[in-house]
Amino acid sequence: MGRLIISGASSRSGKTTITCGLLASLRHRGLKVSAYKTGPDYIDTEYLRMAGKCQAYNLDTWLMSEEATLKLFTETSRGKDTTIIEGAMGLYDGGINSTASIARLVGAPVVLVVNAGSMGESAAAVALGFREYCRDINIAGVILNFTGSEYHVKIIAEALEDKGIKFLGALRRDDGLKIPERHLGLLQAGENRSFDVERLAAKFEECINVEELLRISGASGELRPCSDDLLLSRKYNARVAVARDEAFTFYYPESLDTLRLMGAEVEYFSPLNDASLPQADGYIFGGGYPEVFASELAGNATMLQSVRACTRPILAECGGMMYLCRGIEDVHGNAHNMAGVLPFRSFMTGRAVMGYMTGRALRDNLICRKGETVRGHEFHYSRVEPEYLEDTCAFELTRRNTGASHYGGYAGGNILASYLHVNFWGNTEIAENFMNILTSSRL
């Protein structure tokens, strides 16, 4: 099983475009591929899924342990010809969960993508610096992105080869290949009608040395064994209904797979289009862009009434919490009424709040007991008011990078709602807590 990491010298180097091009190219060659994204990103994985026609998973050693991450990679890549991993940010960014640390964990060579749009030979100096910075990372070659003329490519390619760095090809500046962005990252794959995977695959075959990429991937060597100690201890008979449509798309597939492995039947419903909640033992409202679809969500009155009347457990993360609020003020300042089961209103701020968090439970809730901790990630441009309600506040949240703490979320009755995104994979305690409550008669 070959494996390869596509990493960047920095954010906005075009890693997603390059990774999608490679996945589509390999698929066209009849190869079975699996796809991964390092870190907590939800949006890029959908592009990888579309390009490779395969499920794309997150490799994140903060949200799950190293052993759980390795097991996820091992289990989901079994039987594939090659696995392609897209890195996050720059190769060495992110501390213990950097793309470089994932490269070490899974023993994968790295192809460095360099945005050469405003550089000549300096692009080779950047690549050389990345190679020399940490020699236990195998930087097996470089792909240039956003290049101009043939001469532009030639001078950088020659400089790379002069320093013993393999040149693997270059993509020219092409607005038709760019993926548009919005306030949480790339435009969602399902909304991007201009994303042409077939054209990208053809361009990739024309400009990139795919044969050499396959050779590099195939020389990865043996994947180190992982433990079998992550097996789930119980099976549950439960049905979990998950909100999934254009407004709610932020889910870790491996997290929902964990519930399935525990015996849950996972089904999807649409707060945008369905008339009411389906029958289920519990509900999950994940993150997404409810502020973009606020008018349509507010217009589905029967669904909102069904949510208000629900007495079964509801786990809501980020955008899901916003939907449960009294209302959402969208990016244009327009107010829209929402489900109203939480005593908050949600506002867009224009300022990103992002990073890894540890949540210490202030009271018993759907996934942990008072005093227990859970790891998660926040990424949002909104806030809720009031930000803190003493009788129902769910967590004391502490940032991994600064140690700064604040209070947030709601835990009361049948609801746990916060900005915290968690991953059940490898965190079997919180998964089992959730399933125990779903199958108990306490609610």
Which residues have a catalytic role annotated? Answer: 318
The position carrying tokens 């092409």 is: 174
3-state class (DSSP) for residue 83:
strand
The position carrying tokens 């441009």 is: 381
**Parallel, antiparallel, or unpaired for β 373-385 and 345-361?**
antiparallel
CA separation for the pair 225, 67 (Å, rounded): 10
CA distances from 191 to 87, 199, 269, 319, 423 (A): 23, 18, 18, 17, 25
CA distances from 142 to 3, 100, 217 (A): 16, 15, 14
Cβ of 236: how many Cβ atoms within 10 Å? 18
Residue 415 dihedral angles phi and psi, to the nearest 5°: -125, 135
Which stretch of DSSP H or E encloses residue 380? strand 373-385
CA separation for the pair 289, 386 (Å, rounded): 21
**Parallel, antiparallel, or unpaired for β 181-182 and 185-186?**
antiparallel
- For 412-439, the DSSP string reads ETTEEEES-B---TT-HHHHHHHHHHHH
The position carrying tokens 């409202």 is: 285
Residue 109 dihedral angles phi and psi, to the nearest 5°: -70, 155
CA separation for the pair 287, 247 (Å, rounded): 8
Amino acid sitting at position 98: S
Per-residue DSSP letter, 207: H
CA separation for the pair 101, 110 (Å, rounded): 11
